[in-house]
Structure 1
């Protein structure tokens, strides 16, 4: 999946502008990169379009995962994207569904396996049957 398609899918799923979709996508991926181990961040990044790979760039400080729960994840996305928490939650869900479309199923499962149970409400929509069907 190319960058424009990824952003368009997030925009459609959140029923928002492309600009807002870019902000939500970047905020979600930056926060996800903090939550995953460095190796998993690299595995994920190589399957994404170049502009999104740059968002996920691991550094020595991201080698080990930062442990925080689902509520903190949403709060960080909201702060980074400049939106309220309900919009951040919806945006993160849309990014996870689009991410599942953009990468191999096995890689998405690896990402989801690193997230604790309280992320279920964010990740489960991407795992539901039919979740990867494109909405128009």
Structure 2
């Protein structure tokens, strides 16, 4: 999936402009980079369009995943995107759905297994029909 298509998909799913969709995508990806190990972040980044790789760029300080639950994930996205937490949940789902559509080779499943069970509500809408979030 190319960059414009990715942004357009998120813009449609969140009923926002393309410019605002970019901000929402970046807020979600930066938070995801906080939560995933550096290796998984890199695996995801190489499958996304070049402009979306910047928020996923790991640093030595981010090599290890931060341990925080879904509530904290939503709060961080809300803060970064300057939206309320209810809106952030919809944004996260929209971005996750678009990530699943953009990546290949089971990369989305590999991402999901790094997240604890309390992420179920924000991750499952992006999963293939009939799939369930595995416990971590």
Superposition TM-score, scaled by structure 2 size: 0.92
Offset at residue 29 of structure 1 (A): 0.3
The answer to whether residue 107 in structure 2 is matched with residue 110 in structure 1 is no
Higher relative contact order (CA 8 A, sep 6+): 1
> What CA deviation, in whole Å up to 9, does each residue of 1:79-123 have, x standing for no partner?
001111111110000000000000015110000000001111111
CA distance in 2, matches of 1:118, 1:24: 22
CA distance in 1, matches of 2:82, 2:23: 8
Secondary structure of the residue that 2:53 maps to in structure 1? helix
- The answer for unaligned runs of 5 or more in structure 1 is 131-136
- The answer for unaligned runs of 5 or more in structure 2 is 131-136
> What CA deviation, in whole Å up to 9, does each residue of 1:33-82 have, x standing for no partner?
00000000010000010111111001101110000000000000000011
| Coordinate RMSD, CA, aligned | 1.2
Secondary structure of the residue that 2:57 maps to in structure 1? coil
Task: Give every structure 1 segment of 4 or more consecutive aligned residues whose post-TM-superposition deviation is greater than 2 Å.
Answer: none
Offset at residue 19 of structure 1 (A): 2.1
The answer to whether residue 54 in structure 2 is matched with residue 64 in structure 1 is no
Aligned length: 130
* Larger CA deviation: 16-25 vs 49-58: 16-25
What is the match of residue 134 of structure 1?
none
CA distance in 1, matches of 2:64, 2:26: 20
What is the match of residue 11 of structure 2?
11
Offset at residue 18 of structure 1 (A): 1.4
CA distance in 2, matches of 1:23, 1:83: 11
What is the match of residue 97 of structure 1?
97
